[in-house]
Structure formats: structure tokens, C-alpha cells
């Protein structure tokens, strides 16, 4: 596990993002996808909102995903194991780069065919607690013809524009990036696109 965690550290320190293939192994992806689909079949997912608190709004023109927040108390063993692994990653990041992340939060997300999430930052206007965004994909056999790439907009050195880095949502792959700095978007998908998205946070969630 430490080798995978180390990839996260070097990526974040060198480039502000990391792509870790095989963060989850095939068996973990399979079990989590099964739990995901069970919860989806029970209609546990709701349309995601943008913004925070009273200002939050549902705007399908901006994002079209449906989400389900994972709570350890109601989680299946595979989901608890996933959260534990993320907590281990958080400890590792604190020990190796003093990131000061204390809490994490995760939701399942599904983007049905035709949906997307327009370019955005993951921090709220009045709340900078989110330090790192962490997205782990649960998809089976994903290719460029399926769409649904995450695009990271990477600033070039010295105000020289930006690079649009497209990354396919391949099962078991985890993408991490700095929540307050890297703008990103999800391109329209042609199939149900499944992920566990979350944030490592600076302070306790109130």
C-alpha cells in the first residue's frame, strides 16, 4: 500500500495532482460496484447540488450526477474498508508532507448517459476546508468511446496558459488533486459512470 500512497505524495508535491492505477484491486472494485448498484436500485441516490447550505441549488445544466453519501455506521464491510484505506492515506500524507488533513467525506456518484459536470473548483466560497479531492472509479471496461473523462486544467509555468489533462474513469483508478487550486470538469458520458468521490479536509465537519 505504501507504494501507492507514495505515488500520491510525489504527484501532489510535483504537479498538484496524481493518478494512481490499481488503487483498488479488481476484487475491491467488483464488491464496491455491487454495493453501489444495490444502493442505486433502492433509490438511495439523489441529484447533487452546487453550493453549500441555504445557497445550495440543483442545476442540471452545471452538473447531472446523482449521489449517495457514505456513512460508516450504515456502511457494508467493503465500504468501511474503502474509508479505512482513505484514512490510512490521510495519515500517510500527514506524516510525509504535513498536510494537516483531519477528516474525510465520501459519496458515491453516478453520471447517467448525457450528463456532465462543468468546469469548477471543489472549494466553497466561504469554506476552504477541502484540501484534496479524491475520486476513485468503479467502472467496468471504460474506453475513449465512452466519454466521461475528468479534465484537469493545469496552469503552465509563468502565466503561459494551461494544459487540459484528460483522464479516463477506469475502474480501480484514483485521481487526487488540490481542491482549491485545480479547476476541472467531467465531460459528457455515454454510459452510467460510477465513482466514489471525496475530500480530505482540514477541520472537523460541523
Q: Which residues bind ligand OGA (CB under 6 A)?
A: 109, 117, 122, 135, 150, 169, 184, 186, 195, 197
> 42 is written with which cell numbers?
433502492
The binder of 7, among Mn ion, ligand OGA, none, by C-beta within 5 to 8 A per type, is none
Cα separation, 133 vs 196, whole angstroms: 11
The binder of 85, among ligand OGA, Mn ion, none, by C-beta within 5 to 8 A per type, is none
Cα separation, 148 vs 16, whole angstroms: 22
Q: Nearest distance from residue 98's CB to ligand OGA, in Å? A: 25
122 binding Mn ion? (CB under 5 A): yes
149 binding Mn ion? (CB under 5 A): no
Q: Which among 10, 192, 27, 24 is positioned nearest to 113, based on CA atoms?
A: 192
Burial of 64 (0-12, 13-18, 19+ CB in 10 A): buried
Task: State which residue, 37 or 96, has the beta carbon closest to ligand OGA.
Answer: 37
The binder of 189, among ligand OGA, Mn ion, none, by C-beta within 5 to 8 A per type, is none
Q: Nearest distance from residue 183's CB to Mn ion, in Å? A: 9
Whole-angstrom CA distances from 53 to 57, 75, 198 are: 9, 25, 18
Cβ contact 187:147 at 8 Å: yes
Q: Nearest distance from residue 9's CB to ligand OGA, in Å? A: 21
Whole-angstrom CA distances from 46 to 23, 106, 116, 151 are: 27, 14, 16, 24
The alpha carbon of 150 is separated from its chain's Cα centroid by a whole number of angstroms, namely: 10
Q: Nearest distance from residue 195's CB to ligand OGA, in Å? A: 5
Q: Nearest distance from residue 160's CB to ligand OGA, in Å? A: 25
The binder of 152, among Mn ion, ligand OGA, none, by C-beta within 5 to 8 A per type, is none
Burial of 135 (0-12, 13-18, 19+ CB in 10 A): buried
Task: State which residue, 122 or 149, has the beta carbon closest to Mn ion.
Answer: 122
Q: Nearest distance from residue 62's CB to ligand OGA, in Å? A: 11
The binder of 197, among ligand OGA, Mn ion, none, by C-beta within 5 to 8 A per type, is ligand OGA
The residue number with the shortest CB distance to ligand OGA is 150
Amino acid at each position: 500500500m505504501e507504494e501507492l500512497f507514495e505515488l500520491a505524495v510525489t504527484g501532489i508535491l510535483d504537479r498538484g495532482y496524481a493518478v494512481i492505477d490499481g488503487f483498488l484491486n479488481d476484487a475491491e472494485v467488483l464488491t464496491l460496484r455491487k454495493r453501489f448498484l444495490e444502493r442505486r436500485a433502492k433509490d438511495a441516490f439523489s441529484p447533487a447540488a452546487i453550493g453549500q447550505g441555504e445557497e445550495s441549488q440543483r442545476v442540471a445544466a452545471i452538473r447531472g450526477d446523482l449521489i449517495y453519501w457514505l456513512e460508516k455506521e450504515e456502511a457494508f464491510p467493503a465500504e468501511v474498508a474503502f474509508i479505512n484505506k482513505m484514512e490510512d492515506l490521510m495519515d500517510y500524507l500527514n506524516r510525509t508532507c504535513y498536510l494537516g488533513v483531519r477528516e474525510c467525506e465520501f459519496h458515491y456518484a453516478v453520471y447517467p448517459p448525457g450528463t456532465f459536470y462543468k468546469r469548477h473548483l471543489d472549494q466553497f466560497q466561504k469554506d476552504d476546508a477541502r484540501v484534496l479531492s479524491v475520486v476513485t472509479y468503479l467502472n467496468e471496461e471504460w474506453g475513449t468511446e465512452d466519454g466521461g473523462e475528468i479534465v484537469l486544467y493545469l496552469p503552465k509555468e509563468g502565466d503561459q496558459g494551461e494544459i487540459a489533462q484528460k483522464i479516463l474513469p477506469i475502474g480501480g483508478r484514483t485521481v487526487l488533486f488540490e481542491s482549491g487550486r485545480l479547476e476541472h470538469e467531467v465531460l459528457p458520458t455515454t454510459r452510467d459512470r460510477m465513482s466514489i468521490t471525496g475530500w480530505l479536509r482540514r477541520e472537523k465537519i460541523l
